[in-house]
Chain A
Amino acid sequence: MVHDPFKDSASGKTLSAPPSPSDYMKDSVFRSFAYLCALSIILLLAYIVFELGSQALPAIKEHGLGFITGTTWDTNQNEFGVLPEIWGTLYSSLLALLIGGGLGVAIAIFLTQGFMHAKIEVMFRTIIELLAAIPSVVYGLWGIYVLIPLIRPAAHWLHETFGWFPLFSTDLSGPGLAPAALVLAIMILPTVAAISADAFRRIPYKVKEAAYGMGATKWEVILKVMLPTASSGILAGLVLGFGRALGETMALAMLIGNVNDISVSLFAPANTLASLLASTFPEAGEIEIQALMYASLVLLLITFVVNVAGLAVQQYTMRKFEGKK
């Protein structure tokens, strides 16, 4: 019989029996199983890297680093290069970070610095959380039928009036960088807002009180005290939001146009690594799949570096405020 202190105590028997050998056995089996599960996360990532690497190996051997600087993707001529995709990935994510990051930090301030009644605050927080819950593919659909028709007149006007300016050098003919970046901005906003809001909440209350005590106005406190103090946490939010944007797939595959051009124009169609995978993979032959595996390895590397950087900043922030509350 298994020794169970709970049952024993209820029946009023002695509690002093030591665990039986079978208890020790079960305990150590259970703990080694838990250890294996924790190990499985490490093994999973290692296996992913290994598997993608070995699948991409023929392509890596054949194209080398020229894969990263090449600009054509042509299956018939066996020519593969992902520079336009890397450019599109970074450009669209940076644009999204500019819009979504700015909005996200503003919202974090709005949610944490006591601008409204607690109930309205909960409402806004729920809205931001739900923004993150909407599936990517639904944003894509919304982008096609709502956002693109909505921004097209504005894009047309900008092109007509400021066409000499490189950013507006082409007209928005349908899908393109601008709608893709806008949808991306909406999608990373909750990430940035949540991590930044957390950074604001970590600031000890006395910091704020001290600033108010010196006669600062609400916004002087926010801009001169709270923002600098939370800056590393906000930076972590921005970097992690950027990482999210880099890997986002479906909405981009539906909105960016999937054209392998390098253009600075906001309204030109472009392509990203993730949407290249989404749009090309299902119909690809063996050679092209090897090239796509190489492309996914590049994507993995970029997002890994960005995410590790973001997490490092975040952990630095957490340590900074530990024990100061």
Chain B
Amino acid sequence: MNKITLDHGSGGKLTLELIETVFKAKNGLDSAIIEDIAFTTDSHSINPLFFKGGNIGKLSVSGTVNDLLCVGARPLYLSSAFIIEAGFDMEKLEKIVESMTKEAENANVKIVCGDTKVVENGKCDGVYINTSGIGKIIKPIDGQGVKDKDVVIVSGTVGDHGFAILNERENLNLSSSLKSDVSNLTHLLVPLIESELDIKFIRDPTRGGLAMCLNELCYNRDFGVEIYEEGIPTREDVRVMSEILGIEPYYSANEGKVVIVSSKEDADKALHILKQSELGKNAAIIGKITKDNPKKVVLHTKFDTKRILKMPIADKMPRIC
């Protein structure tokens, strides 16, 4: 008998199949656009709840805010629903809520409603948080206009969140300075969306990382993506951890980065806008859209060899967001 496995929640190919076959959703988009409103929802279960760079509270606000931004909306209102395990420390809960409030203020959104459920001890890992959000569309961005020769930009170093969590959870002690990049991207993205630039696609490469995000970009489309290893910003400690653990940074989650596709003409200007923000200081052009390899993501290595960056089937690091 078929059973749900952790892999079905990995954000990879199996998640996509679950959404298509069981939930029967034709497009597995994170956010819906309804007239001039964007609507999204996201549940968060992370181990550990508190980590370098943030906690589940900050994550639950920024994740939903970022999903709204990705469809070209200005995030406005959030709901928050808690599932809490009996016996959970009140002080920890207060810290989580404090982080949510702070992150919401920073993102200029209001948390306007919520719900609380408590389950028996042992029935959930401390706390799970669901947030839903609505925003007002500034300019709808749905990836439909992406075409040959468009340019692919990433807003900063890739893989930080996944490796930071792994480093902490497994007590690897491989880096002392690495922290999660979890952050809302309101101040990075609103100026870009409000600009006159031809921005065709924005997506936050969370679970499954850059590889999943780029594969989704060209999933069932008549174009593919070409990226250049040397241009992809990565932290040195992430590269070292990647070597040791055998997990490439391209498959590791991010919680404060976006992949952007713009027209060729506007790419440099888009990069310029991103670099104005502290959150986008390491932004870089990493590749382009191509007709040469439809539906596929081709990675050009620094040795000028090529290989295909597959859609991850399942995450090598479960429960990281």
A joins B in a complex: no
